[in-house]
Chains A and B, each alone.
Chain A
Amino acid sequence: QVQLVQSGAEVKKPGSSVKVSCKASGGTFSSYTISWVRQAPGQGLEWMGRIIPILGIANYAQKFQGRVTITADKSTSTAYMELSSLRSEDTAVYYCARGSTVVTDVRIFDYWGQGTLVTVSS
């Protein structure tokens, strides 16, 4: 069955960067997209961006443009999200989510990773 397994929790200093991974198993990595969605403590879901692994094309929410980079390694079926210039407001759980097909893309997030807590603190 499809699984998305994310890397472990991180504690970062303000101004630094964090890179979170999301390894997919089950299904064909090139047949779907991977989005990143974050959730600050006690808050709602916020879409950050997504990558189409077969094309290597990434798109980002305007709020995160210039600060986030999403990449994918087809050889290991792993997607990455790197967020730079971290500030305390970036403390959140970061989820990867599979867009069920390249066509349906962000319309349907059918599988989610377990989440990675990123804490930004001095």
Chain B
Amino acid sequence: QSALTQPRSVSGSPGQSVTISCTGTSSDVGGYNYVSWYQQHPGKAPKLMIYDVSKRPSGVPDRFSGSKSGNTASLTISGLQAEDEADYYCCSYAGSYTLVVFGGGTKLTVL
């Protein structure tokens, strides 16, 4: 059982928007503005998409955005494209003892 809770799957049609939630506790997601999101295509290494809740690394399309409210963080992908179909993982800093926790992952299907 993962420390952070994500829906197992979400889906959307090309051009639509989808949001993936990531629920933790006040000891991780709710306690720090250090949530990151990773995209993973089958057989590939994860790729950083969002860090510090809502910041995008260079090269990541602005269709990807992040937010947080309380103990729940969210990743929104707008203008869905076929290549967005992948698994998405949230990750949160969890203090100086635990350090970091991941979500269980969400499979995004582009219909």
Task: Tell yes or no: B101 within 8 A of A by CB.
Answer: yes
Query: Which of B45, B98, B105 has the most chain A CB atoms closer than 10 A to its own CB?
Result: B45
Binds A, one of B9-17, B47-55, B72-80: B47-55
Interface pair A112/B52, CB less than 8 Å apart: no
Option from B40, B52, B57, B100 in Cβ contact (under 8 Å) with A47: B100
Complex Cα gap A67–B24 (Å): 27
Residues of A within 8 A of B47 (CB): 112
Chain B nearest CB from A32 CB (Å) reads 13
In terms of DSSP, what is the predominant structure of the interface of chain B? strand
Interface pair B51/A108, CB less than 8 Å apart: yes
Residues of A within 8 A of B103 (CB): 44
Chain A nearest CB from B50 CB (Å) reads 10
Task: Tell yes or no: B31 within 8 A of A by CB.
Answer: no
Residues of A within 8 A of B93 (CB): 106-107
Interface pair A110/B57, CB less than 8 Å apart: yes
In terms of DSSP, what is the predominant structure of the interface of chain A? strand
Q: Give per-residue flags for A34-61: 1 if the beta carbon is below 8 A from chain B beta carbons, else 0.
A: 0101000000111100100000000101
Interface pair B101/A47, CB less than 8 Å apart: yes
Task: Tell yes or no: B64 within 8 A of A by CB.
Answer: no
Residues of B within 8 A of A109 (CB): 36, 38, 46, 48, 91
Within 8 A of B (CB), among A79-99: 95, 97
Complex Cα gap A109–B89 (Å): 12
Within 8 A of A (CB), among B11-46: 34, 36, 38, 40, 45-46
Within 8 A of A (CB), among B57-111: 57, 89, 91, 93, 98-105
By beta carbon, the residue of chain A nearest B35 is: A107
Interface pair A44/B2, CB less than 8 Å apart: yes
Task: Please list 18 pairs of residues, one from A and one from B, whose beta carbons are closer than 8 Å in the complex, sorted by A's number.
Answer: A35-B100, A44-B105, A45-B46, A45-B89, A45-B105, A46-B102, A61-B99, A95-B46, A106-B100, A107-B51, A108-B36, A108-B52, A109-B36, A109-B46, A109-B48, A110-B57, A112-B47, A113-B45
Residue positions of B touching A, CB distance < 8 A? 2, 34, 36, 38, 40, 45-48, 51-52, 57, 89, 91, 93, 98-105
